[in-house]
Amino acid sequence: MKARAFAPGHVTGFFVAREHEDPLKTGSCGAGLSLDDGVYTEVTLLPDGETRVLLNGVESEATTTRTLIDLLTDQPVLVNSRLSVPIGGGLGASAAGAMSTALALNQLLGLERTFNELCYAAHLAEVASGTGLGDVSGMSNGGVEIRLQPGTPFALDRIPTAPDYIYYVHFGPISTKGVLSDEQEKKLISLAGERCLKALLKKPTFEEFMRLSRKFAVDTGLISRRALDAVETAEAAGGLASMAMLGDTVFSTTADGLSEFGAVRRSRINLTGPVLVGDACQRDFFNMS
């Protein structure tokens, strides 16, 4: 008895955060993109004992995923997640971990929830754990999304043109929790985010999304010195780049010049959103080395 699901990684380019006494109304609007790099999760029933969560084979706290499980079931389960995005890199790892777990749990335990109900549970788990505000909404349909409203119900639009691939370099973790806890900074970020959202809706192209993301990262002061160096290097090579919000990761339309900053990964832009992984799936992600 097991079930498997995938959820895409997610890069936020810019955002407007909203806190609300109702955690379902808490969230962010803004824009971002989903990645085929993400999280594959296999969930197995445990006959008894405590729920266990393995991230890349290592027993982990995984607060967001544990919160999600508590929202859906009392049954002890073994969650085995394989991540192809770094943890704490601003690539939506916690959201993808929770969302893939939600889909797999729904299948395994016959919970009979709709897709949106599972998304909202994963979103609640993110909000409760302080690990993110817009990643679940942003990844839920894949593509390059525009998040029109914070929180639930998700209100999404999409940029219909995008390259097939995105390159990214991760320098090291930033605590999302830390950055989001400064009130004054949040207000400045929101104002910058609102300007970007308005501008993107006027000109909803991929180039404009990249340009506005870079402007947001610089205007808010959220970009690190090293990330700005990498962004400028990509731009000198003719690319468009910015920093993933919120993580010390640069995403770019080109790999040129980026290898001096670290290991460059290439990912397809994900077009499916979170999905169950059927037995027909050719690749066995859980036996990968």
Binding site for a second copy (CB under 8 A): 103, 106-107, 112-116, 118, 141-143, 146, 153, 155, 157-165, 201, 203-205, 271-273, 275-276, 278, 280
Rg (CA), the chain: 18
d(CA 154, CA 148): 8
Stretch (H or E) spanning 243: strand 241-243
C-beta separation of 40 from 4 below 8 A: yes
- DSSP summary character for residue 57: T
Contact predicate 132/65, CB 8 Å: no
Tokens standing for residue 222: 């959220």
Q: What minimum distance in Å lies between the beta carbon of 48 and a second copy? A: 27
Nearer to a second copy, 96 or 174 (CB): 96
User: Cα separation of 40 and 277, whole Å?
Assistant: 9
CB of 272 to a second copy, least distance (A): 4
Nearer to a second copy, 130 or 204 (CB): 204
Tokens representing 120 are 């909202």
Cβ distance to a second copy smaller for residue 209 or 216 = 209
CA distance 284 to 289: 11
Rounded CA-CA distance 36/106 in Å is: 22
Q: Could you tell me the sign of the dihedral formed by the alpha carbons of 170, 172, 176, 178, in that order?
A: negative
Q: How far apart are CA 63 and CA 281, in angstroms?
A: 29
